Chains A and B, each alone.
Chain A
Amino acid sequence: FGNFAKRVSRSSIMLWRQFLGSLQVANVISSRSSVSFRSQKMSFVSIRSRPSSLRFKICCSATGEAQAKKETVDKVCMIVKKQLAVPDGTPVTAESKFSELGADSLDTVEIVMGLEEEFNITVDETSAQDIATVQDAADLIEKLVTEKTA
């Protein structure tokens, strides 16, 4: 199962890369078992924003692709709440958009830095630009952590 999980996450990484427009996906998986990508739905929601912030959102739900663990999402929420000094009454969830919480560009880089420190990863500018919600951040973190340990 560990091998299978590794292959699933590698293929979802390739999916991401394809979207970021950098690599060509030559073959998705080289193994005896097959993982198929049928019924992937990619809704391309482009809400382009000012250069320095994170508003280019890609929604990608492929069957079999795991979303970030709740634990990761919770940690991201905590870092975001702290950075933006979100009042107690305002909920911060996986769906919360940074823009809707009032994050400006300096907040955003501080959040990214906080995430890098917490999870011991490095987020490059291209990936950072794709983050619009807490969920996006959590998914990226898990992807980077997986890549690191793979």
Chain B
Amino acid sequence: AAAADFTLLDSPLPARRRRPQPLPDAPLPRICTAGELPALREVHVWYLCPDELNNQSQLNMYEELLSPSEREYADSMKATMLRKDVVLSRALLRTTLSRYTGCKIDPRSFEFKKNKFGKPEVLWPLDDSTAEQPLHFNISHTTSLIACGIAINAHIGIDVEEKKRNTTKNILSLARRYFTPSEVDSLAEISDSDAQRKEFLKLWTLKEAYVKALGMGFSGAPFSTFSIMLETSKGIRISKTSNASRPGYDHLSENWLFTLAELNSSHYMSVCIEDSSRSQGPEDSPAPVGLKVWKTVPFVEDTLVSGTEAVKLIA
């Protein structure tokens, strides 16, 4: 999924949090559907399709939600399509976060900070009660779909990829360079090249989602240090490879939950969240990750698509 997600952060804020800036006078359409907070081990995903959003006055409205630095970043994009993607991506994030504050916080008010590795997080105003229930988010986009995942009290990573996406490099070469030997073996067993490519993409999105959830950067958990196992009795699991004994690579498989789904028959979507319940013993099989998905046209229309043909759980 695209790289433009985190790149626009404001300079580091002083230790004391600032209050949200006073809002401009332009009235914001008050069509905000408040969302019920996700439960434990539940992920909410809101997505939009850039190709379907061409109404210029709507796009202008979305652009008005952006902070000055976000707007500057959008302007730095050479291609119009990329600029639109940046605007939509930030608008999606801001409007989604607003829903989970019961629409009390205006989308324009949100401020962000970075963790020490650069992963963005919400910087909550000091006096707001929602700060006590930390809302975590992560964004992913392809040219045709932008998704925002939300979880409570759990770090989250999300990655989407078009099913039909082709690689310029040979699949097994890519896998040999970046994946683990056991993953290469499982891919090599697939004789149909299209099926092999799709399996590669599924593994790719799962690994991306995990690295993004960890929030330590690509080098914090190199793809070759852990394997994704798709079909265990406990769902999707990860296991460390033997060369992953360096300090800092101590990611325990049990702490992370995954879900892999097909969206609109056109995209693979992987979500990874921290298992904050820590309730399972060795015999317990963890409950599957709850997943709710909405397709949204911010301020206009939201459609719950999970539980329909639009969202097919793979694992």
Q: Which residues of A contact B (CB under 8 A)?
A: 46-56, 82-83, 90, 97-110, 113-114, 116, 124-126, 128-129
Partner of B218, one of A90, A100, A128: A128
Q: CB distance B220 to A51 under 8 Å?
A: yes
On chain A, the residues within 8 Å of B218 by CB distance are 51-53, 105, 125, 128-129
For A104, the chain B residues whose CB sits under 8 A away are 1-3, 142
B7 within 8 A of partner (CB): yes
| B interface size (C-beta, 8 A) | 42
Q: Can you spell out 29 A-B residue pairs with CB atoms less than 8 angstroms apart?
A: A47-B9, A48-B6, A49-B5, A51-B117, A52-B3, A52-B208, A55-B3, A90-B78, A98-B3, A99-B3, A99-B4, A100-B76, A100-B77, A102-B79, A102-B143, A103-B2, A103-B3, A104-B1, A105-B1, A105-B218, A106-B204, A108-B3, A109-B178, A110-B168, A110-B174, A116-B177, A125-B219, A126-B219, A128-B218
- Which residues from B are CB-within-8-Å of A102? 2, 4, 79, 81-82, 143
Residue of B nearest to A107 (CB): B3
List residues of B whose CB falls within 8 A of some A CB: 1-9, 76-79, 81-82, 114, 117-119, 142-143, 161, 165, 167-169, 173-174, 177-178, 204, 208, 211-212, 214-220, 222
Given contacts A55-B3, A110-B167, A125-B219, contact A48 B142 (CB under 8 A): no
B159 to chain A, nearest CB (A): 8
Q: Is the CB of B9 within 8 A of A48?
A: yes
Instruction: For residue A114, give the distance in angstroms from its CB to the closest CB of chain B.
Output: 8
Q: How far is the CB of A119 from chain B (nearest CB, A)?
A: 15
- Name the residue of chain A whose CB is nearest to the CB of B9: A48
Q: Please give, as numbers and ranges, the residues of chain B lying within 8 Å of A113 by CB-CB distance.
A: 169, 173-174, 177
Contact, CB under 8 Å: B217 / A51 = yes
Q: Are B174 and A52 in contact (CB under 8 A)?
A: no
